[in-house]
Amino acid sequence: MKNSVQLIGHVGQEPEIKNLEGGKKLANISIATNEVYYRENGDKVEQTQWHRVTAWGKTADIIERFVTKGKEIGIEGKLTHRSYDDKDGNKRHVTEVIANEILLIGK
């Protein structure tokens, strides 16, 4: 099966933009998705999930120009997992969406 993720949510912070060597651009954002359901007794339950999103190149350009904290956006991309050692030597694991496309939904 193809590794494909589609999310619609609100941006949780201002985008972090990095200009790398060779003219490559990187954008990092987090988006919140909300799910609402009702228990058998009728109580409403709201759950928020936070997703780390990374974009490169032209997609990063669009994020830099048009995306701000609180804006509703749609993301299409692939799910990735990676690990690294932090400055204290502890192994850290990261799950993120590598965005291929972005849809600007909010005003």
What are the tens digits of pLDDT across the range 56-79? 999 999 999 999 999 999 999 999
- Residue 1 confidence class, pLDDT cut points 50, 70, 90: low
Q: Which domains does the chain have, with CATH numbers?
A: 5-104 (2.40.50.140)
**Residue 35 corresponds to which tokens in the numbers above?**
């799910």
- Rounded average pLDDT over 16-30: 95
- Rounded average pLDDT over 45-56: 96
- Answer whether 57's CB lies under 8 Å from 24's CB: yes
